[in-house]
Amino acid sequence: MDTLTFYGIVLKEVLYNDNDKILTVLTANKGIISVTAKGVKSIKSKNSSAVQLFCYSEFEILKYKNQYVLKSANLKDGFYGIRDDVEKYALACYFAEITAFFATSENDETDVLRLLLNALYVVAKDENKPLWLTKAAFELKLACVCGFAPQFEYCKSCGTALGAIHSKHVFFSFAENEIICEDCVSKNGNNYGENLKKLSVSASFAIQYVINSQINRFATFKLDGINASAFCEFCEKYLIYTAERSFESLKFYYSIKKQLLKDQK
Ligand SMILES: [Zn+2]
């Protein structure tokens, strides 16, 4: 039986028996792994604090055939700011679910792990960063890091660079995964199909920024007003379109937000 060491984040926990858990962990070298963690629900367990949801820990794991069994876990960061705030908690649940969906198993997922660590850090600790911006930028960057980047550099049809487009809007074709400038759409609009999303050039610059940014800089920009709404709407739609499914945790996040708005009134 080999003993392996991984650094990873707990994305999901399923309880079984009285004191045991099956953990879904995102690791750098092996991507998503499923780890059997015996006894960790017991108050006597020395590992319990390091195997909670969203914990970033060093895991010592025994590999037996194709099964990973926890030997010990050493907490590096618990992102406790997330647990004290229901909206942050709901958002982190969504981040965990979409990460578990997009990340692969038995592959190097160092970049996805770095992205999620950065995102959880911002959500837990950066009070100046609006949650909506982190949410949208994470949705888009996760898709990019997992190989599904949209093309926002130039018009698909005439090749004009985004920075050289003079009109106020561009169109994004979900079918082609590329932008088309307003001139080209007005010339031969119907050729691009139904699923075109109109976006301001300013929102498009924010999208282009996230696509090209370094992982640790994925949310370091400002946006407000109508461009912020367009950016958020695009990023969520792009993620859902790319995943070809919806996510329960996203519905949960919106139900929490709705409740919070109600409580404020
Ligand atoms: Zn064009």
Cα 22 from chain centroid (whole Å): 22
Please tell me the distance between residue 253's alpha carbon and the centre of ligand 1 in angstroms. Answer: 38
Mean pLDDT value across the chain: 94
H helix or E strand, kind and range, residue 261? helix 248-264
pLDDT at 185 over 70: yes
**Separation of 194 CA from ligand 1 center, angstroms?**
17
Report the range of poorest mean pLDDT among 142-151, 175-184, 189-198, 224-233. 189-198
CATH 3.30.930.10 holds for 1-78: no
Name the strand (E) or helix (H) holding 232.
Answer: helix 225-243
Residue 221 contacts by C-beta under 8 Å, 6 or more apart in sequence?
A: 206, 209
Q: How does pLDDT run across 123-172, given as a tens digit for each residue?
A: 999 989 999 999 999 999 999 999 999 999 999 999 999 999 999 999 99
CA of 147 to the centre of ligand 1 (A): 25
Domain boundaries, the chain: 1-78, 162-243
CA 231 to chain centre: 15
Separation of CA 195 and ligand 1 centre (Å): 17
* C-alpha 173 – ligand 1 centre gap (Å): 13
| Ligand 1 centroid – CA 108 distance (Å) | 38
CA quadruple 214, 254, 100, 88: dihedral positive or negative?
positive
B/e letters for 209-244, b = 16+ CB within 10 Å, e = fewer, are bbbebebeebbeeebeeebbebbbebbeebbebbbe
Condensed to tens digits (0 to 9), the pLDDT of residues 80-134 reads 999 999 999 999 999 999 999 999 998 999 999 999 999 999 999 998 999 999 9
pLDDT tens digits, 191-202: 776 789 999 999
Q: What's the gap in Å between 220 CA and the centre of ligand 1? A: 29
In the reported structure, the alpha carbon of residue 142 is separated from the centroid of ligand 1 by a whole-number distance in angstroms of 28
How many Å lie between the centroid of ligand 1 and the Cα of residue 188?
Answer: 10
Within 8 A by CB and 6+ apart from 253, the residues are 87, 90, 91, 93, 94
What are the backbone angles phi and psi of residue 66, rounded to the nearest 5°? -105, 15
Distance 187 CA to ligand 1 centre (A): 9
Percent of the chain with pLDDT over 70: 99
Cβ neighbours, 10 Å, residue 158: 12
Q: Ligand 1 centre and the CA of 155: distance in Å?
A: 5
pLDDT band at 189 (very low <50, low <70, confident <90, very high): low
Which residues are within 8 A (CB) of 136 and not within 5 positions of it... i.e. 6 or more apart?
A: 231, 232, 234, 235, 236
